[in-house]
Amino acid sequence: MARSAGVLLSITSLPSPYGIGTIGKEARKFADFLKASGQTIWQILPVGPTSYGDSPYQSFSTYAGNPYLIDLDTLCEEGLVTKEQIESYDWGSNDSEVDYEKIYNNRFDVLRIAYNNFKQGDQKEFKSFKRKNSRWLKNYALYMAVKESFDMRSWTEWPDEEIKMRDEKAVARYERKYKDEVDFWKFIQFKFYEQWEAFRAYVNGLGIKILGDMPIYVAMDSADTWADPEIFQLYDDGDPIAVAGCPPDYFSATGQLWGNPLYDWDYLEQTDYDWWFERIKAASKLFDITRIDHFRAFASYYSIPFPAENAVNGEWIEGPRIKFFNMMEETLGKIDIVAEDLGTLTPDVTELMQQTGYPGMKVLEFAFDSGEENDYLPHKYNENCVVYTGTHDNDTVMGWAETANPNDLRYAREYCRMPEDEPFNWGLIRVAYESKANTAIVPMQDILGLGKEARMNTPSTLGNNWTWRLKSDALTQELADKLKTMSVNSGRLED
């Protein structure tokens, strides 16, 4: 990757009169701001449909787009819904955070109005979309229709054993019974992908690449586990044998119990990793660069026996390692990937990173613990990495500075050679930009110097996450000029 700078901002965090950011006008406005700021990368969080807890890392599908991201004004322009109909719903009164309950209760009503109007028009492009994406779309749409009929319960709790276990006759029966509802869920995906292509074309047209995030695991409550149970470590009744997470670490004394089903890597190898390669190919159609979350699990993954109260009693098991990536390149060609390699790295992970050549991640908030030498200090970097002030799982830089050990904070200021009048967030941004890392990416909250109230996620907690939103007046010309000057001065943008 060429020397460059970018910004991390979830699409859900964009301003919008309808409670949550979308891929409409405000997304283009933010892309314009990135262009004016000398940025060439926009990093986003996963864009799949979210389930309980609203985490983008727990999605109903690895392929489907989030219905919340569909721009309602665009549907209005197409004559599928009126402005009055959209504005008749309560989208929340606080423009600084997402009210997911209101979004969930109202958005699908508006999308159903659009779908019913859409059915009266030309279906040619819709039919083509359904045909081209049938491999995943049929399963996802049926899953959502059946799930809705069972009060949105996960497939492992469906009362009809036949459809739960995908008996062929039951699948055909439910497809007939919920034909219109299945088509509604397909329509949502048609509109998401139609709008996404226009959004991506606009962003790319400004010379900006989209760095998308792909969770390594899929949710238990997903069309993926329901449709392809053989690729996961599941019992015959669908319950998981073991689940994903990570051991006690910096974030949690009892580890993180994610609950995702683990892959049956032996089966995947026997099928030439076809399921995985299709997934990566789909991600590369959405994004210019794909960040694989929890990359270390390809070297060795943490297996927690099911059921469990926490992640303390898991064990590390060998993953597919370099064989997987060699076969992936043979099958798909060269794909731009960033590997999330944070945490304590064992020799097998370090070896896999070297073998793939993928850039890893460096986080400045991790660099200054007790003044000890660690690999997150900029003088330890090589060029092939992406440096961040913080990530979506960290407190904001200013929030961290409020609660950090005073010795750590003093060391950070000394190491970064911050003048007394330099705001702490800009000192870290400057050091990230001036580092050897080919790519420097800064969360929008850190650029704005926001505190802990703007934190995106606190790992191992449920509720009050993923809600932060950007104020509509935050993107000033002064801010763009400051970032652009910094980009030019650090060699991340040609003047």
Active site residues: 293, 340, 393
Are 54 and 100 a contacting pair, CB within 8 Å? yes
Q: Token digits for 233?
A: 């470590």
Are 25 and 14 a contacting pair, CB within 8 Å? no
Question: CA 116, CA 131: separation in Å to the nearest integer?
Answer: 21
Please, what is the angle between helix 274-286 and helix 322-332, to 10°? 60
Cα Rg of the chain (Å, integer): 23
For residue 131, which amino acid is it?
R
> CA nearest 459: which of 394, 388, 382, 371?
394
Are 428 and 392 a contacting pair, CB within 8 Å? no
Question: CA 348, CA 248: separation in Å to the nearest integer?
Answer: 19
CB neighbour class for 427 (10 Å; exposed up to 12, middle 13-18, buried from 19): buried
Are 192 and 285 a contacting pair, CB within 8 Å? no
Question: CA 299, CA 296: separation in Å to the nearest integer?
Answer: 5
Q: Token digits for 43?
A: 């990093």
Q: Token digits for 492?
A: 């991340």
Q: Token digits for 148?
A: 């809705």
Q: How many residues does the chain have?
A: 495
Q: Token digits for 454?
A: 């703007």
Question: CA 433, CA 441: separation in Å to the nearest integer?
Answer: 9
Are 66 and 111 a contacting pair, CB within 8 Å? no
Count CA atoms closer than 13 A to 363's CA, side-chain side.
18
Are 399 and 374 a contacting pair, CB within 8 Å? no
Q: Which element (helix H / strand E) includes 256?
A: strand 256-261
With a CB cutoff of 8 Å and minimum separation 6, the contacts of 13 are 21, 444, 456, 468, 469, 470
With a CB cutoff of 8 Å and minimum separation 6, the contacts of 208 are 31, 34, 35, 39, 40, 41, 42
Q: Sign of the C-alpha dihedral, residues 144, 87, 463, 390?
A: positive
Tell me if residue 317 falls in helix, strand or coil.
strand
Are 293 and 213 a contacting pair, CB within 8 Å? yes
Are 190 and 21 a contacting pair, CB within 8 Å? no
